[in-house]
Amino acid sequence: MMQKRKLGNEGLEVSAIGLGCMGMSFSYYPFPQKADAIHLIRKAVEQGVNFFDTAEVYGPYSNEELVGEALEPYKGKVIIATKFGFNIQNGKMAGVNSKPEQIKKAVEGSLKRLKVDVIDLLYQHRVDPKVPIEDVAGTVKDLIKEGKVKYFGLSEAGAHTIRRAHAVQTVSALQSEYSLWTRQHEKEIIPTIKALGIGLVSFSPLGKGFLTGKIDANTKFEAGDFRNHLPRFTEEARKANAALLDVIEKFAQQKNATPAQIALAWVLAQKPWIVPIPGTTKLHRLTENNGAAAIAFTAAELNAIEEASAQIKILGDRYPEMLERATGL
């Protein structure tokens, strides 16, 4: 079975690799048939994954319903993380909202859709500049006291916000983008959460698919795939960023592994309290991703990856500027 990792100091323990479920019904078009998605989630459990990530806004709502149905047979045996923090109007995400009444409303909806009595890990999906983070943390603290939530998390929050929230209600996990090509959090965020004893859940650890080596300058994304709108996925950027794939491929050959496994194993090797949550809709990719948990690097190999990747300047921002703060992805 896959080894476990601790997130935070409140007792939350999860499989070393989780499963990000967003792409099964949101952002990465085309979506699988519901029965296939349920089958994949259940296969993940069989392979030792016990940590599943969803959010109210994925769909909206349909992703939580899918995860709830898929995991109902494993009630109490798996950890489901979900998120609040957006207005949803006419079936669309409509700006951030972390007012206390909105959080409570979101939690009631999530409990029903996930078919659970308590939410294992509840994240604020994005910081709401209009609501003091102390009010957000205080509301979650009340929900924990009421037995509706077990653990509190933040997503893509800054160091100052994390400290302020943690002072009101212990934060167990920060979910933020972290991978071989998205490393800005190493400057301030990772040292902050290390000092506070907060775990890191790394979303997009495979660079939204790019680090698998299966996407090149000629790849065409389907209409509805949000990568069509990302600066890092323009044809020019993909051509330039292929240099990082060459580095990953070299290590994949040395370790008799795939590029995806190297990218995930690198994330796992950074800290014992980092848990990547790659998403997939394909069974063979699920098995491949989970295989990364068995790959270990020597200090010399990690140094070599560091030196080689440091030479490469990644072209393109993560998101268009207007989306950088508002995006829920």
The catalytic residue positions are 58
Token duo for residue 311? 């030479």
Look up residue 268 and give its two tokens.
Answer: 């796992």
What are 258's two structure tokens? 């795939």
Query: How far is 123 from 172, CA to CA, in rounded Å?
Result: 10
- Say how many residues make up the chain: 329
Q: How far is CA 22 from the centre of its chain?
A: 9
Residues 6+ apart with CB under 8 A from 5: 13, 14, 15, 16, 199, 272, 273, 274, 275
Please say whether the beta carbons of 79 and 12 come within 8 A: yes
- Return the HEC string of 20-87: ECHHHCCCCCCCCCHHHHHHHHHHHHHCCCCEEECCCCCCCCHHHHHHHHHHHHHCCCCEEEEEECEE
State the DSSP string of 247-304: HHHHHHHHHT--HHHHHHHHHHHH-TTEEE--B-S-HHHHHHHHGGGG----HHHHHH
Contact by Cβ (8 Å): 120, 83: no
Give the span between the Cα atoms of 298 and 176, in whole angstroms: 26
Output the six-digit token pair for 114: 């996930």
Is 52 in contact with 22 (CB distance < 8 Å)?
Answer: no
Q: With 0-12 CB in 10 A as exposed, 13-18 as middle and 19+ as buried, what is 147?
A: exposed
Through-space distance between the first and last CA atoms of the chain, rounded to whole angstroms: 30
